[in-house]
Structure formats: C-alpha cells, structure tokens
Amino acid sequence: MPLNKIDKLLEHDVSWLLDSGPDGDIAISSRIRLARNIQSLPFPIAATAGQLEQIQTAAELALKKSKVIGKEYLDIHMSDYSELDRQILLERRLISSEFVEKKEHTSLFVKQDESCAIMINEEDHIRIQALCPGLQLFKVWEQINKLDLELEKSLPYAYDSQLGYLTSCPTNVGTGMRASVMLHLPGLVLSERINAAIQGVSKLGLAVRGIFGEGTDNRGNLFQVSNQSTLGESETHIIDRLSTVITQLVMHEKNCRLSLLKNKKHFLLDHIGRSYGLLRHAYTLSSEEALNSLSDIRIGVDMGMFNSIDLHTVNKLFMTINPAHLQKFAQKELNSQERDIFRAAFVRKQLKNAKHSQGE
C-alpha cells in the first residue's frame, strides 16, 4: 500500500513536540487559531452542497496562491481518507473532533512539521491554527498573523467595522481568535491545589479545559488554558493578558513541585517510580492509565530522575498511545482489549532504553 499524505505526517517530527520552548517543562505548547469567513457566502452550517463546494474552491485557490503556503504544505481532501486517517489528524491536534465526521467539501492544508494547519468548511469557512513549543504566544501570533494577512489579500473576509470578523458562532465574533497554552500541572494536582487554580483562572475570564478540547477530562494532568472573549480587545491585548496569567500558573506549578520535593520527597519519588515501573513492565495498559503514568514520568524527567529519557520522547508518547496511532502502527484494526495489549508493548519498547537513574 503506497503511503498517503497522512502517513507522511507520521514520518516527520512534530515541531511543537520536538523542541522545548520557553518554560517547556510545564508549558507543552502554545496555539492560536483564527476563524475566518468569506464575504457574501453563508456559513457552512447554512450552506448548500453547491455553496460548500464554492467555498472550498475559493479557499483552496487563495491558499495555493498565497506566498506563505509553500511546498512544505500537504493539501488533504477529507473525503479521500478513512475514518482511521481522520482520527490520526485529530490525535495530532490538526483538526477538531467535529471535522472528523464532516467529510464532504472539507479540506485540510497542513505544514509537514505540523506547526500550521488550515481547515476549510469546519464551523467557519476557514480556520487557521499555528502551534509552537513552550510558552510563546507572541511568536505564534506573528506567524499566524502573517499568514492571515496574506490570505486576506486574495479572499474578501466577512468583516464588520464595528464588530470585527464575523463568525458562525457568536462567541468568536470580533478577533475570531482563540489562543491557548497546553500546560502540564501535576504539581498542582498532587498538592490538591488545581481546583482553586482553575477557579482563579476562570474568574479572570479565561477557560480551562482537558487535552482534547471541551468536555474532555484532565487526563495526564494536561490542561488547556485559553481566552474566552473575542470582542472589545485587540489580539495582542488578549495574548498579553493570557500570557501573564499563564506565567503565574507556571510559577505556581513550580512552587508546588518544589514544595512536594521538599516536604514529601518519598511520596513523590514513589509516585514517579511506580508509574515508571508500570509503563516499563505492564502487559496491558488503558489509555487513561498510560496518560496518567506518562504525566508522572514527565515530572521525573523535569526533575532529572531519568538520565536517558527526554521530554520529546514523553511528549510524543502522549500523542502516539492514542487509539488511531496504535492501529496505524499495528497496521490493523484493534478492539479495545487488543489496543491495551498493543499499547503496553509499544510503551515498553519506547521506554526500553530509558534508564532510571536514581536510586539504582
């Protein structure tokens, strides 16, 4: 079977997982997405098949013409791909869960290093996202803004001089921007301070969600913090406010870790050691158990407990232990029980050369 475009993605390193950005021990990645629509065409939810096709064609043309979309981009017609392939894109955070189901007249443009992706005919005509490792929202903003301005040259965006960008859902009207940072907060969780922290962040008008967006829990102690409002503030002002809060959360997390290390060292070492033992030696492993144990390993790596395992290996596992990736590696469909067995073998192998440096 020849490799399709999605298979190609699996062969490349993911830029935002590979490099550790600023505060990369706690902030895994920074992400911004912009919602854009083309003037005089109905939003996808209200569009006929013909209109959807018209939107798709116009958007694709504009993207292909654009100077910032080069050869390093793959253009993917979602209808050409299997359910499994579309799930792979979801697990790689390149598309939304709604987009997995929406096959007709939908396209994805994705940079091969996965730092940028554009969905056509999701909830809005165009959804652009850019990702960087660590906490560096302004860098992401620079990149995505450049792409957005370039696109605007060839696409007449639906824009209201008073409201700003018009979007399918009113919650996006204005900037059409959602900026978010994925944080790893095991220290706050283990210290039982996470709920207070989430409440504090919510009061500041920011949202805290699980790893795969709304409705998902905090598996792996991963949290996405993002702006809620898109009206009445400039993009840079929103990003500035978000960055300030996240910097505080990062400090809070660091303090919790130091305090655990100082006052509950054996509890912490034991917690991390047991998770390492589990990932290293279990023969069946659920997704949730794997994510939670990987979270513990990540603290161990941050704290220098492991001498030959790096954050990149752990970050990648957070993605690759998910069902679609496992089935892709196994090259066959696996039921839930088979996946748990395959997942355990996969993780054992990945961590095989990761020696446990402390206490041996």
Instruction: Provide the binding-site residues for a copy of itself, judged by CB under 8 A.
Output: 266-267, 269-270, 273-274, 276-284, 341, 344-345, 348, 352, 356, 359-360
Q: Residue 271 Cβ, how far from a copy of itself at the closest point, in Å? A: 8
Task: Give ∠ CA 263-269-270 in degrees, rounded to 5.
Answer: 110
Give whichever of 226 and 293 is closer to a copy of itself, judged by the CB atom: 293
Q: Residue 300 Cβ, how far from a copy of itself at the closest point, in Å? A: 10
Q: Residue 138 Cβ, how far from a copy of itself at the closest point, in Å? A: 41
Give whichever of 91 and 296 is closer to a copy of itself, judged by the CB atom: 296
Tabulate helix, strand, coil % of the chain (nearest 5): 50, 15, 30
Give whichever of 140 and 272 is closer to a copy of itself, judged by the CB atom: 272
Give whichever of 142 and 338 is closer to a copy of itself, judged by the CB atom: 338
Q: CA 294 to CA 276: how far, in whole Å?
A: 8
Q: Residue 296 Cβ, how far from a copy of itself at the closest point, in Å? A: 11
Q: Residue 277 Cβ, how far from a copy of itself at the closest point, in Å? A: 3
Q: Residue 258 Cβ, how far from a copy of itself at the closest point, in Å? A: 18
Contact between 59 and 157 under an 8 Å Cβ cutoff? The reply is no
Contact between 238 and 179 under an 8 Å Cβ cutoff? The reply is yes
Give whichever of 124 and 289 is closer to a copy of itself, judged by the CB atom: 289
Long-range pairs for 54-60 at CB < 8 Å and ≥24 separation? 55/105, 55/120, 55/121, 55/125, 56/105, 56/106, 56/107, 56/120, 56/121, 58/155, 59/107, 59/120, 59/121, 59/125, 59/126, 59/155, 60/107, 60/109, 60/120
Give whichever of 4 and 286 is closer to a copy of itself, judged by the CB atom: 286
Q: CA 259 to CA 267: how far, in whole Å?
A: 12
